[in-house]
Amino acid sequence: MSTVPALLDPAAQAIHQAAQQPTQQATTARLDIYAGIHKALRTLMGDILGRLGRCDLDHPGELRDTLDRTDLMLDLMASHVDSENTVIHTAIEARLPEGARQTTEDHVEHQHSIAALRQDVQVLRVAQPVQRPLLARHLYRQMALFVAENLEHMHVEETTNNATLWSLFTDAEIGQLEGQIVSRLSPEKMMAYMRWFAVGLSTAELTGLLQAMRLGAPAEAFDATLALIKGELSPERWDRLATALQMGSLVPASTATH
């Protein structure tokens, strides 16, 4: 994995600009800066919650892997919150004071929750075997609350915040905000997000994303991305994607929907 982010680095903007395009609202035909990344993060959160629930605490390797994945998820969620605060909320507030007040306040709570969850992960990581069941139950329940809060929060962003963005900005300007978010991501973080785009988007949406990337990214980066995605998909889904790409039955990013 250490070499693939370097390959993707020149293509970072192409990937992330394409990532949200396949999930535009069909009724509005407006650029939706939230939809693709939220699909990816919803899938990620569900995966982590499931792993925490079924983790065999008496198997050190499984416990370590589960907690490592949880730490990574919290890192991605923190990065997502920071990008929205710094880029999207700042832009909204510049044109409509307090226009992003609700989600800004939500983010403060999310940052506190992330810090608390990180501490819970570390406590469980170093706990003695006899202590693990109670600590694992606590972490699982707190994570469930965190996921529930984020699902509701994302809905507000995709409805209320999108309506605000669309009333204040053109699609070109929203695309520029997306570019600012992209510029803040390291190649390693880009790779981590791409894994969840791969499993969180439909085949048609993923095909549209890859079509856009193929047009704007170096061939080596595109091939590396395909290799990553193949490792994340089931054989059946990979076959569908490969068929769509090879036969040209691609869904244009500007017309694909949820």
Going by C-beta distance under 8 Å and a sequence separation of 6 or more, which residues neighbour residue 65?
none
Confidence at 235, pLDDT banded by 50, 70, 90 = very high
Dist CA 132 CA 154 (whole Å): 32
Mean per-residue pLDDT, 187-198 = 89
* pLDDT level of residue 77 (50, 70, 90 thresholds): very high
Q: What is the mean pLDDT of residues 144-151?
A: 98
| 18-39 per-position pLDDT tens digit | 444 444 444 557 999 998 899 9
Cα–Cα distance between 71 and 135 in angstroms, integer?
A: 16
Mean pLDDT calculated for residue range 195-221: 86
The whole-number average pLDDT for the span 3-21 is 44
Is residue 128 scored above 90 in pLDDT?
yes
Amino acid identity for residue 34 in this structure: Y
Looking at the predicted structure, is the pLDDT value of residue 252 above 80?
Answer: no
**What residues contact residue 59 under an 8 Å CB cut-off, 6+ apart?**
none
Share the mean pLDDT of the chain.
86
* The two structure tokens encoding residue 241: 């994607």
Q: Quickly list DSSP for 107-168.
A: HHHHHHHHHHHHHHHHHHHH--GGGHHHHHHHHHHHHHHHHHHHHHHHHHIIIIIHHHHHHH
Q: How many CB atoms lie within 10 A of CB 182?
A: 18
198, 228 Cβ separation under 8 angstroms: yes
> In this structure, is the dihedral angle defined by the CA atoms of residues 80, 142, 149 and 47, taken in order, positive or negative?
positive
On the question of pLDDT at 89 being above 90, the answer is: yes
